[in-house]
Each structure stands twice: as C-alpha cells, then as structure tokens.
Structure 1
Amino acid sequence: MNKYAPPKFSFKLLHPKYWGVWISFGVLALLVNLLPYAVLYKLGRAFGKYSSKLAKSRVKVARRNIELAFPDKTAEDVERIVEENIKNTGLAFIEMGITWFWPTWRLKRRIRTVNLQQAIDFEDEGRGVLLCHPHTLNLEISARAFAVLGYPGSGVYRPNNNPAYDFIQYWGRTHNGNTLVDRKNVKEMIRVLKRGERLFYLGDHDYGRNKSVFVPFFAVKDACTTTGANMLFSLTNCAMIPVTGFRDDKGHYELNLADSIHEGFPKKDLEAGATLMNQAYEQVILRQVDQWMWVHKRYKTMKDESLPKGYRYKK
C-alpha cells in the first residue's frame, strides 16, 4: 500500500467518535453558504476577538514575535498589530470554510490578480514554478484561487491525526484540480516541478534544526530557516515566485505575484539561499503585516544549543 495515498471515505468515519468533526464542519458549511460575506467577515473577527480571552498564550506569542521582528515599533503600534492579527486569526477559520465549501462562481467574484502572467509564461515554457507563499492567515484562499482561475497546483500538507478531519481537509483542499503532496514525500514534490507544474512552498516558519540554517528574518539575525528551497531548485531548476493572497478593505483577495527570484539564486550556498528567501518573504509580508500568522513561535529554535527551545518567549 502506498503510504502517501490520499484519504478515502469509509463507513468507519461515521463512528460516533467522529460526529463532532462532521457536525462542526457541517455547521461551518451552512454558515459560509447562507450568510453574506459582510456578515461572515464580522462574525470571524468577533470570534477571533473573543476567543483570544481563552487563548491568552497565543496572544502572548504574537506580541512577542512582533516585538522581536520590529524592535523599533512603539508599544502602542505593537498592540494595534496584535489586536488586528488576533481578529484576523478568527476570520481565518471562516476563510477556510469559504475555501472548502463555496462554489467556484462565488469565490471567483472575490479574487483579484497582480502579475499573474509570469506564472502562465513559465507554464508555457514547461518550467515548474515554486510558489513561495508565506503563512498568511488566508493561505487557503490563495491556493484555491489559482485553481479557480484555471491554474491548479500542488500544496504540501500534513495529514491530520483525526481521520474524519483528514478526509474533509483533503477534500476541501483539492477543489478545481488542486492536488496535495504529503510533506514527507519529497520525491513527489520534485516530480511535480519537473513536470512543469506549480508547487506551493511555505518556507517562512521555524521547522527545527534539521536541514535548516540560522539567518536573518526581520530583526532577528539568527532565525532558524529551512533550506528546502535550495534543494528543490537545485534538483529541478524551477522558477521561484513569491506570492500572497491578502484581503483588501473591500473583501477582495488579491493574488499578488512578486517578480521571480530564481535568477542567480545560490544553489550550493545554503545560508545565502535561505537569506534570499527570507528577504523575499519579508517584502511580501510587509504588504499586510496583520494578516501573517504571528501566533506561531517563529523564533523558537535557538542557534546556541545550550539555550532551551522557546527561550525567546520566556520573558
């Protein structure tokens, strides 16, 4: 049996122990399809605001990340970004429902594009494209937006331990021709790019010491950063394009492709490659700082191994 085979439906998933998952997603599907977007927007942000009272540790992490990344910001500026970010984190749950359960025609009306043609041109050349997308809170919408516009690709994902959740997640993320690749299935990622297709690459989080280097990310000079982009580029000679799908103040999602960065990308110099990738991520995150996933402990792994993991967050 292929250990990377996609999840399939079976009657075992209807066991009472999974009813909570089915009911939760059923309610979410009804909400996002019955309510107008303006109401969903307010509902999601209100959910974020009030859930923050129950998840104070996450609020603390977001605040500390922003303090580390932007040491020149005033305390008032930091709190403003934190407040908006937590509201947007709540909205991300609604946006996930929009991505998984909205019909194509409804989502397409919300999508705007900037500089999409370059990705199309690379496809015409038969060249794979590594879409370097940061962990924005509306990442789910970005991934489906490509497919809705007729340019599906592959996303890297971690199978969920709950089989019912995993089945729904896989189904929700593979609309309009998108496919998913298990995060451990590196060979398939390489095959996707060699076939001249698009692969989403999320290299802006702290994934631990394995296959990582310590380079600057915003103001932190030794942020643990994966070197996966170097490996994929070296083996496939793919194009590399930073991309975001931030939400604007009118409720549209702007699929914005920055200029490609693969020309002159250092294949063998891991630190130089990771530094260039972080700089690219910084530039696109700064378009809408409060819509990035600041609740993740981005700076948890320390270069100095004598310091415990998460040392920077123990203040």
Structure 2
Amino acid sequence: MKKKYRKLPRNTDYSAYRHPRWWPTWLGIGAMWLIAQLPLRFQWWLGKGIGLLAWKFASSRRAITETNIRLCFPELTEQQQAALVRKAFIANGIGAIELGIAWFRDPAKLTRITRVYGLEHFEQALASGHGVLLLGGHYSTLDLGGSLVTEFIEADVMQRDHNNPLMNAVMTRARGRRYGTVLGARELRGLFRSLKKNRAVWYATDQDYGRKDIVFAPFFNIPTGTITATSRIAERSQCKVVPFSHFRRDDRPGYEIYFHPALENFPSGDDLEDATRINAVIEQEIRKAPDQYLWMHRRFKTRPDPNDPGFYKPKRKKKKS
C-alpha cells in the first residue's frame, strides 16, 4: 500500500522526524550522503547502473519515455529512438545520484570542471533593476546544475514540494544553503518580493499542470498545454526573462551552464505568442543534449480537445483489497 504523505504538514525541523516510521527514509538519506563522498567518476558509473535498471524494470516510465521520444523525434529511426530512450534513463540515473552532491557537498569544488557561457546576458538583464526570471527546464542535472549556478550568481528558487515530508525537509534545507530564498510553487507573493528586490529567481514552466491558465503552444511541433503565468509575472513585475540551461558533459566529468539574452518585447500581449517563444527556447536547449531531459514526465497529457485520444496508456486502477 502506497504511503500517504500529502496530508502531513511540511516541516523542515529534523526533530519532527524521530519516529521509527521515518527510519527507512533516514537510511536512504544516509546512503545518499555516503555515495556523495565517492569520486565523481564512480558516482557516474553507479548512476548509469541505476538508470539501466530503471530502463529495464520501470516499464510504465519507459513507456512514457518511448512515447515522448517518438513524438518529439519522428526523424529518428526506431533503433535511434530506442537508443535515445536508453540514454535518457542513464542520464537521469546519474542525475539521481547527483542529488547527493547537490544536497550534501560543496558545489564550489566542481567549479573547476564547470564552464559558464553567456554570463554577461544575465548581468545585463539584472542591471535593468526589476529582477530576473531564470527560465529553466527539467534537465537531469536539475539540482546539481542549480547548485552550480549559485556559485556564479545569486538567486532564489521556486520548488514543488516532495511528497515525502522528510525528503522535502532535506531538499529544502539543502537548497536553502545554496539559494537566497526557497519559495513554494504557489508562493507568488514571495516571488514578486524577490523580483522587487532585483533578485534572480529560478523558474520552470515545462511540465503539464492541467487545463487551468494555459494555452496550447507548439513544443516539438505538438500543441502542448503551456502555462501563461510567465507572461503575467513579467507584465506585473517588469522583470527580465533570461533563458538558461545546464548539462553534464559526455566526454569527461564536467558541467556546462548557458545563459541567453533576455527575451525581447516580452510579454507581447499575446499569451500564445509568448508561450510559443518559451517552448521554442526550451526545445532549443533540449536539443543540445536530448538524453538529459526529463522524458519520463507525461508532458503531453492534456490535449487541446478533452475528447482527443491521449498519447499515453491510462494508469491501471489498483484493486481494492
């Protein structure tokens, strides 16, 4: 039976998690800490193994990934698509291991193997005085890339809570050591306060959030539900929207961070045009390292017409015991 954590309060005080029910989670956290102390090459090797195991046994996630790859890369042969699916699981397996580095080690030690491109674009945007919305994506380097970014700039972050309150506490406290402020996904007041202080805020829009406040903009040539909140935030705060991304190098241990020029004439007043531009920017970044994107998510779940057939197989309903 799946544990129900959602009704429990979000508490970052570790003393709230002394009960034996949390011991398995503590054990997992301890394992993450130990693995994070290992050499980077060994961690990548271990992450590759985890990714391959998930590729072989996580059939539902593999099916989602296969569907997404097939939809987004129709120009590839079946063999090439299958190879990309396998590589995506490996990349995300390494990303899972890198969580330990992001949460429990000092990312400053990795700056010598990190290349940063376009930092001047961020600095120019910040000079406007109205804050910067860092338009990111859900790449496999999500946490570690974010930690590395804070070694070069000061930033706050918006996050979606982890379902497990103890894991959420660890994640929030770890991010709090890297970012100035850790904001919840719905803390818009906090977001506007940060922007008003001319802060940068890490922000991602590239997931399916349902039908509320969205338009259907092309993403890999597929009409995709895309939230309009980015336009609303930029309009109200007059902040600059700066696309950025972060990837793991595939030739040797190392990372790359990219900052791009702030979107011009944004928002335009046309939500569909704005969403199309945002999706195009994210797609452009994904194509730099297609395997390092979170393809396991049902990105195309919400269809323009609710009666349109879905791309994904419906989840199996669990039998009541």
TM above 0.5: yes
Letter paired with 2:173: W
Task: Confirm whether residue 231 of structure 1 aligns to residue 232 of structure 2.
Answer: yes
Identity %: 30
Selected match of 1:63 from 66, 83, 95: 66
Deviation by residue 1:73-104 (Cα, 9 ceiling, x = unmatched): 21111111101001111111111111111124
Matched, 1:77 2:80: yes
Alignment of 1:218-257 (within 5 A): 218-220=220-222, 222-248=223-249, 249-257=251-259
Mapped contact 1:231–1:267 kept (Cα < 8 A): no
Name the CA shift for 1:267/1:193 in 2 (closer, same or farther; >3 Å): farther
CA displacement at 1:300 relative to structure 2: 0.5
More off after superposition, 193-202 vs 118-127 = 118-127
CA contact (8 A) 1:242 1:284 kept: no
Q: CA RMSD in A?
A: 1.8
Corresponding position of 1:123: 126
Deviates more, 1:5-14 or 1:45-54: 5-14
Q: 1:44 to 1:57 in 2, by over 3 A?
A: same
Cα distance in 1 for residues equivalent to 2:166 and 2:53: 27
- Give the unaligned 5+ runs of structure 1: none
What is the deviation of 1:26? 1.0
Distance 2:162 2:36 in 1: 23
- 1:153-168 equivalence runs, <5 A: 153-168=155-170
Check if 1:15 corresponds to 2:19: yes
> How far apart are residue 119 of structure 1 and its match?
1.3
Q: Which residue of 2 aligns with 1:111?
A: 114
Deviation at 1:177, TM superposition (A): 4.0
Corresponding residue of 1:169: 171
Bigger mean CA deviation after superposition, 116-125 or 240-249: 116-125
CA distance 1:17–1:25, change in 2 (3 Å): same
Deviations 1:181-214 (A, max 9, x none): 1111111112211211111111111111101111
The aligned amino acid for 1:40 is: Q
> Could you tell me how far apart the structure 2 residues matched to 1:275 and 1:177 are?
29
Letter in 1 for 2:244: V
Partner of 2:319: none
CA deviation string 1:125-150 (max 9, x = no partner): 4231111111101011221112222x
After superposition, residues 22-61 of structure 1 pair within 5 angstroms as: 22-33=26-37, 35-61=38-64
How many residues end up aligned between the 2 structures?
Answer: 305
Query: 1:141, 1:245 within 8 Å by CA — same for their partners in 2?
Result: no
Q: Give 1:6 shift.
A: 7.8
User: 73-82 vs 113-122, which deviates more?
Assistant: 113-122
1:214 equivalent in alignment to 2:216: yes
Aligned to 1:271: 272
Instruction: Report the Cα distance in structure 1 between the residues aligned to 2:177 and 2:113, rounded to whole angstroms.
Output: 16
Correspondence 1:197 to 2:187: no
Which amino acid is the alignment partner of residue 256 of structure 1?
A: Y
3-state DSSP of counterpart to 2:116: strand
TM normalised by structure 1 equals 0.92
Q: Deviations over 1:195-245 (max 9, x none)?
A: 11111111111111101111100121x111111110111011111111111
Letter in 1 for 2:212: N
Query: Which amino acid in structure 2 is aligned with residue 230 of structure 1?
Result: S
**d(CA) in 2 for partners of 1:70 and 1:166?**
34
In terms of mean alpha carbon deviation, does 224-233 or 105-114 score higher? 105-114
TM-score w.r.t. the length of structure 2 is 0.90
1:233–1:267 contact (8 Å) kept in structure 2: no
Tell me how far 1:164 sits from its aligned partner: 1.4
For residues 290-311 of structure 1, give each alpha carbon's deviation from its aligned partner in whole angstroms, at most 9, with x where no partner exists.
1000010110001112236xx1
Q: 2:313 matched to which residue of 1?
A: 314
1:31-75, CA deviations, whole angstroms, 9 ceiling, x for partnerless residues?
A: 111x11111111101111012222111111111101111222211
